[in-house]
Chain A
Amino acid sequence: MKYSLSGDFDLQINSLHTLNHLFTTMLENAKVRELDKVVVRFSGDSGDGMQLAGNIFTNVSAGLGNLVSTFPDYPAEIRAPQGSLSGVSGFQVSVGTGVHTPGDSCDVLIAMNPAALKQNYRFLKPGGVIIVDIDSFKEGDLRKALFETDKPFEELGIKAQVVEVPVTSMTRAALADSGLDNKSVLKCRNIFALGLVCWLFDRPMEAALRHLRNKFAKKPAIYEANALVLQAGYNYGNNIHASVSTYRIDTENPRPGVYTDINGNTATAWGLIMASEKCGRPLFLGSYPITPATDILHELAKRKDLGVKAIQMEDEIAGVCSAIGASFAGNLAVTSTSGPGLALKSEGIGLAVIAELPLVVIDVQRGGPSTGLPTKTEQTDLMQALYGRNGESPLAVVAPASPTDCFTMAFEACRIAVEHMTPVILLSDAFIGNGSSAWRVPDADEFPEIKTPYVPAGTEGWRPYDRNAETLARYWAIPGTEGLAHRLGGLEKDATTGSISTDPANHEKMVKLRREKIARIAYDIPALEVIGREDAETLLVGWGGTYGHIRTASEELCREGEKVAMAQFRYINPLPANTGEVLRKYKKVIVAELNTGMFADYLQAKFPEVKIERINKIQGQPFQVSELKERTKEIING
């Protein structure tokens, strides 16, 4: 099994060299700082295009060979009142080496208005730089952001270097002859900021222009305007560089291959397509729009060019039910959703459990309960995924660890579903679903063929609940095949004949068979891998999308002399076969997760001999490396 933590799962540029950050400055008393990564946070009104500016900066940096990790932090409201605190949209990106997370805090903060400043200044590192559009700091703007004085920086107690840039008026000036109306002109402000940041970090204009050209391929006039503004932003930086520090980031050679920038939801969609190619069954998605999972539906709807049938159904229940119908019909069937949708799909998933049909259910977790925090991240659907159905209803649960790992784990979810004839829940989350990284496009033969369990040719007297002796999986009889017509259903079936059965002993037998079938998947998944020092006494444990933060915290703790290692679970049910053996090696086992302790409880119940310590956060936000380190130290010393 090849999906190891140290391989492609992480970011694919395996340079261990330290980047040579040249912190150049024209200021007197300049000092050169050695940073191993730089974090930039774009913030503005949700209509200001901060996500676009951030994305282009990320792609350009990734194209230069930097490791990248992004965190789009956007409000649930599509367009909250302009300039208001609730309408602030942010995009944080970390570029450099050893990048596993978008960073706890930023070196450079771009704030397009006072509200953005107020919501984001706390993310600035000591010694960081704030760039503001000073044209948007008029009295009215300050009032919308609930400032009480006309001195916003003093009011917030900001001591950092603030660069006041007239972004709006410079954008206007750049487009004075463009013929664009005022509204269209103002929409280009984000690209002025992008140009300035490109200058600050020495990003090549050509790459940024290429991204803009793609973005506005169908609107040449808008592209031309943005290209002008981008250059204007860059030139502005050049002209004022006497007063601002600039960073130049060099790169080392990453692992050879073809790279693209990918976010977790797109990676998930592509992993499903790869699985479809490897199992020889067409891909079907039945879905219903829900934040933050909808991008998976969007991407697969586009992929008609690869033969994907992605249909938007009338509700969440129809989403899963159409997928179950497609699975019975012989397709690789998937439904995608977030927590509230998973709740609605529960009965359907139970049907797939008893009918023993392959089905992949993707849950991009968000803050709950109920509608909760629709755009924020959490790991609070674990218990729902494991147990949220009536009856004894076991299924496989897997969880990708990073945006790029979504590809691998979506593939794995499909492989397990098909080879073991079971529903599989993939627990992604808003953080990795929206976050992006550079990803090496896998070679054609990098992923294995999926062994689709067709009814063996020439089988005489086949019955629908005949099983593979090793995996206990049923066989998949594809409708339309002569001689294999059969009836499935939600009623309990006789283990031998497949007819309806209410026999008490048979029911217990079937419950145990279904349970054992899932348990045996443990022999078909990779062992749990420990990363970190050999002599570690404390094991920091996570699952799913918290990998980057836990890995970084673990590495930093090691550097600081703590005897720490880390292990990230990507296979949740069943657990890797070596789990107990690994956990028992350590004096302290700490489970860090974005809920009140669901995975810790789960592990504790399975391994009562291991004392599980806990680090929990339920704020709709990812961990910060600093808080993980602090809590870990407290537990170690406690």
Chain B
Amino acid sequence: MTQETQAQFTPANFKSDQSVRWCPGCGDHAILNTLHKAMSTLGVAPHKTAVISGIGCSSRLPYYMNTYGFHTIHGRAAAIATGFKVANPEMTVWQISGDGDGLAIGGNHFIHAVRRNIDINIILFNNKIYGLTKGQYSPTSDRGFVSKSSPYGTVEDPFIPAELVFGARGNFFARSIDVELATSQEVLVAAARHKGTAVTEILQNCVIFNNGIHNPITDKEVRADKTIHLRHGEKMIFGKNGDKGLVQDGFLLKAVTIGEDGYTLDDVLVHDAHTPSNFLHQQLAMMDGKELPLAVGVIRDVEAPTYDQAVAEQVAEVKGRKNFGSLREMILAGETWEVK
């Protein structure tokens, strides 16, 4: 990508003329703006971009894009995006889903899209609540969560989105927080550049029905200590003073303070997002901000054959081998008889 092509587009090129109708203070506004910015740096024209969503607050997003867009039905965005990308592989395809849309009603399509490694960029807006239906627990709500549909608390465990991605043998997983604009832009650009299914989870705040759900991790006062920004090739260091690091502890990870308990900078792990093994990636992605800091940034980014390209290559290969010009030629090459 040359500097010239990157300079072709501005965020405004990706904005539609529709007025944005999310609630004031909703985390979606920040994600939308970041997406406009990220897209403007990719060198991909708006008319070569498609944004496909399911149903939910976040799924209104395509209307705010000056790209090809499709606001579809609940849970099916991944299946629709898959068909779209296979049919028209030249397009850069984004899928917008919330935690309910993507992981509850659309859970099956989500894991199969990841398994196939179709080249789409899934942004998963995780606010741990159903907003558009006014406040029911979602498949990412914590056990015991009280909501309108769980007045006495839920009695079920949530999905950790990253765990589903790794369970489905995903090759790209990144995470950000709605208010961290720079991180969001960084991971969305990385997701777009990755060939294959790229899942980016963004912790999003629903100001009306689940306000502050991520605060224990994302509050300004605690964020530096409760999160770690992973970057490929860099030491896994975090903390307000940049003095904390992640080290290997047997098969597990441990957070230490550099200079204490005999740990030095040399003991701190270096992040390798490109290693094919997902063992460490999964451990990093499962850190939840309690004993270990929640990881943001690109956690896994491994190249693998993509579904859409494999389909196209197989078609080209078989087509080239058989070399039929038309249906009629194909039929005539088979078993026929002529009547004169």
Contacts and interface: CB of A to CB of B under 8 A. Distances in A.
Contacts of A480: 47-48, 68, 88, 90-91
Given A273-B327, A286-B83, A333-B83, A253 B72 contact: no
Given A322-B82, A484-B47, A277 B326 contact: yes
B134 interface: no
Given A258-B336, A259-B339, A318-B108, A351 B73 contact: yes
Contact of B87 (A282, A355, A440): A282
Contact of B73 (A211, A261, A270, A490): A490
A481 B45 CA distance: 10
A303 B318 CA distance: 9
A326 B76 contact: no
A303 B71 contact: no
Nearest to B74: A347
Nearest to A13: B339
B86 A284 contact: yes
Interface stretch (B29-37, B59-67, B286-294): B59-67
A325 B69 contact: no
Nearest to B334: A260
Contact of B62 (A308, A333, A444, A487): A487
Given A259-B339, A325-B52, A347-B73, A318 B109 contact: yes
Interface in B282-329: 311, 314-315, 318-319, 321-322, 324, 326-328
A282 B330 CA distance: 17
A286 B78 CA distance: 13
A314 B324 CA distance: 31
A307 B79 contact: no
B327 A274 contact: yes
A13 B338 CA distance: 12
B84 interface: yes
B335 interface: yes
A304 B318 contact: yes
Contacts of A350: 73
Contact of A321 (B79, B86, B328, B334): B79
Interface in A588-629: none
A482 interface: yes
Given A257-B339, A304-B314, A322 B326 contact: no
Contact of B72 (A62, A257, A315, A489): A489
Contact of A324 (B45, B65, B72, B328): B72
A313 interface: yes
Which among A318, A327, A440 has the highest number of chain B CB atoms within 10 Å?
A318
Contacts of A441: 328, 331-332, 336
A contact residues, range: 35 or more
Contacts of B315: 304, 307-309
A487 to B, nearest CB: 4
A422 B69 CA distance: 19
Nearest to B329: A306
B83 A326 contact: yes
Contacts of A355: 70
Nearest to B315: A304
A331 B76 CA distance: 19
B71 A256 contact: no
B70 A488 contact: yes
A329 B71 contact: no
B43 interface: no
A348 interface: yes
Interface in A292-335: 303-309, 311, 313-315, 317-318, 321-331, 333
B339 A488 contact: no
Given A318-B109, A330-B87, A304 B79 contact: no
A169 interface: no
Given A274-B327, A485-B68, A326 B86 contact: yes
B335 A306 contact: no
A65 B71 CA distance: 54
A327 B52 CA distance: 13
Interface in A118-176: none
Contacts of B91: 329, 479-480
B46 interface: yes
A383 interface: no
Interface string A384-422: 000000000000000000000000000000000000000
A260 B72 CA distance: 42
A306 B339 CA distance: 26
Contacts of B63: 487, 489, 499-500
B319 A305 contact: yes
A314 B108 contact: yes
A351 B336 contact: no
B83 A324 contact: yes
A285 to B, nearest CB: 10
Contacts of A277: 326-327
A92 B337 CA distance: 23
B321 A305 contact: yes
Nearest to B76: A321
A489 B112 CA distance: 23
Contacts of A305: 318-319, 321-322, 324, 330
A487 B338 contact: no
B81 interface: yes
Contacts of A214: 335
A234 to B, nearest CB: 21
Contacts of A481: 47
A453 interface: no
Interface in B71-109: 71-73, 76, 79-88, 90-91, 108-109
A355 B69 CA distance: 12
Contacts of B47: 479-485
Interface in A463-522: 479-491, 499-500
B246 interface: no
B337 A306 contact: no
B329 to A, nearest CB: 9
B64 to A, nearest CB: 9
A17 interface: no
Interface string A210-228: 1100100000000000000
B18 interface: yes
B338 A258 contact: yes
B335 A260 contact: yes
B88 A331 contact: yes
A441 B337 CA distance: 10
Nearest to B326: A277
13 contacts: A59-B335, A256-B340, A270-B327, A282-B87, A307-B315, A309-B315, A318-B76, A324-B80, A325-B84, A329-B85, A485-B67, A486-B69, A487-B62
Interface of B: 16, 18, 45-48, 50, 52, 55, 62-63, 65-73, 76, 79-88, 90-91, 108-109, 112, 311, 314-315, 318-319, 321-322, 324, 326-328, 330-332, 334-340
The 9 A-B residue pairs with the shortest CB-CB distance, nearest first, are A322-B83, A489-B71, A325-B83, A326-B87, A325-B84, A321-B79, A329-B88, A325-B80, A305-B322
Given A259-B337, A306-B324, A313-B82, 17 more contacts: A253-B339, A258-B332, A258-B337, A258-B338, A260-B331, A286-B79, A305-B321, A322-B80, A325-B70, A328-B68, A329-B50, A347-B73, A441-B328, A479-B47, A479-B68, A489-B69, A500-B18
